[in-house]
Structure 1
Amino acid sequence: MTTSNNTASDIKCLKLAESLFQAYQTQTSITLEASDLTLDQAYQVQQLTVKKLDTKPKFWKTGLLSNQRSFCAPIANHLCQQSPANFSGKRFNALHVEAELAFRVNQDFLALPDQASSVTEESVLNSLDQMCVAIEVLDSRLLDWQTAAENLHLADNQMNGALILGTEVPFDAHNPLNFSQQGFVLSINDNEIVLDTGTHPQGDPVSLIFDFIKEANLRGYDILKGSWVTTGTWSGYPSANAGDKVNVSFQDIGEAELTL
């Protein structure tokens, strides 16, 4: 009975992953009949999909699910560009943009059987050597993305459409910025859309990264040396349109630019 159930679950996940991969390839949105998808199944679908897109992703996003558990979601390498970025040739189905900060991991954290005991908060903090301004483009392969279940979004790489990496600066987690006083501006077509200070949901974006790496390793992902992880929006997620020019600037850090 257990084998049969597992096989049925595996077949379900394979079919969902194939549908999502085709949606990536055709840049279209689809309907997935899987509102009962479990967390484990969502990660299985995510992994199966990313294996078709990239064998070893080097870009990631993290944040908290509604139950306050950290999530991990890979970003396909071809969906990441350095600023000034141009994605005018790509079709987005649900187009929003976010002002974020991303951090570079300068050592491998591999999904080994004993990894849970070897990954420490100190080792993760010591591994962070660069920070950069980032723009995340939110998109979805799901036609009903506004009402879709949370685990479906997780299976769909937590609504990532693209990632733009801007100005890089050295980072020392033991001598960090005062993120509560960090100012930023998000502009679209030279119009200030969001101007604010200290609005990251967790206060300190770095606080997410230890649990992100643990979750990624638990799910079988290797976080490779040189990987970047973007850590959630400071700006909400204002909508944008094809042809828009987006600029995000973080005070005393730098900026990132994007043409949609």
Structure 2
Amino acid sequence: MNAAFDADALARLFVDARAHRAKLDTLPENARPASAGDAYAAQDATLRALDADIGGWKVGAKTHDGPVQAAPLPADGIHKTGARLSMLAFGKAGLELEIAFRLGRRFEPDSGPYSDEDVIAAIESVNATIEVVASRFAAWPDVEKPWQLADLQNHGALIVGEGVPYDAAFPFVSPAMTFTFDGAPLFKEAPANPAGDPRRLLAWTVNHSVSRGLAVERGTVLTAGSYTGLAFPDAPGAAVGRIEGLPSVELHLA
């Protein structure tokens, strides 16, 4: 991490932007994250400044074997299916359909490392989720990657459908799904997660969290990357995600 970088200063800017539904045009020199280490320090500082409990993590990778990045999600931004949220709360907001895993045990800070098998054995349920992707930066998505990662990886809100027990035979790489907004499809391409099998991201996330001194509480939701890419609705309406084998998930934007 850059010794000159002030994670708390950046966190204060993010918290103020959230509170006032404002957008940041630029950052002061001492609050510009230049690396993943800087970004993760800013994430931690932001959660502290918000006095927020962690209810989940968003995690993803751009390729099947590429580097993984993650962000903790404030618990008050995680909602049950059917939630009604204001579009004004986010400004420009994108929607993604994802698969998440709810954990049924606690992982202690500074413990581990944990294997894939350890974490998969802890899965309490598999859930369809809609993530609202939103940024505190006016120029997003044309924003430097460490800045986006610092901004809780462009997290706005997470809507979680009802869960089903984990089944290793579920087609995690390419499940059949539809994602609609007021009945119109939001994507045409065959769904695919750029990370490949999202289960490969789970142990990494748990180990990443506990190595940062952050417990992973029982009930934590790990949402593991979009299958559909971003869709940007330009008017209020209802988004419905249906993933074959999972209960559907629904978000109403007002």
Matched, 1:13 2:10: no
Distance 2:233 2:147 in 1: 23
Indicate the SS of the match to 2:138.
coil
Equivalent position of 1:42 in the other structure: 39
| Runs (5+) with no aligned partner, structure 2 | none
Matched, 1:140 2:135: yes
The CA deviation at 1:228 is: 0.5
The CA deviation at 1:205 is: 1.2
Residue number among 16, 31, 46 corresponding to 2:25 in the alignment: 31
Equivalent position of 2:73 in the other structure: 75
Letter in 2 for 1:228: V
Contact 2:131 2:159 survives alignment (8 Å): yes
Letter in 2 for 1:133: A
Indicate the SS of the match to 2:130.
strand
Structure that is richer in helix per residue: 1
Q: 1:145 to 1:196 in 2, by over 3 A?
A: closer
Equivalent position of 2:89 in the other structure: 91
| Runs (5+) with no aligned partner, structure 1 | none
Matched, 1:157 2:155: no
Equivalent position of 1:22 in the other structure: 16
Tell me the alpha carbon deviations over residues 74-112 of structure 1, each in whole angstroms, 9 at most, x when there is no partner. 112221110101002752122110010110111111222
Q: 1:13 to 1:65 in 2, by over 3 A?
A: farther
Tell me the alpha carbon deviations over residues 161-209 of structure 1, each in whole angstroms, 9 at most, x when there is no partner. 110011311114xx23122451111101111122555512123111111
What is the Cα-based RMSD across aligned positions, in Å?
A: 2.1
Distance 2:95 2:19 in 1: 21
The CA deviation at 1:69 is: 2.1
The CA deviation at 1:23 is: 0.8
Once structures 1 and 2 are overlaid, which stretch shifts more, 102-111 or 30-39?
30-39
Indicate the SS of the match to 1:44.
helix
Contact 1:248 1:255 survives alignment (8 Å): yes
Report how many residues are paired. 248
Equivalent position of 1:234 in the other structure: 227
Residue number among 87, 103, 106 corresponding to 2:104 in the alignment: 106
Indicate the SS of the match to 1:124.
helix
Identity of matched residues, %: 25
Equivalent position of 2:56 in the other structure: 59
Equivalent position of 1:252 in the other structure: 245
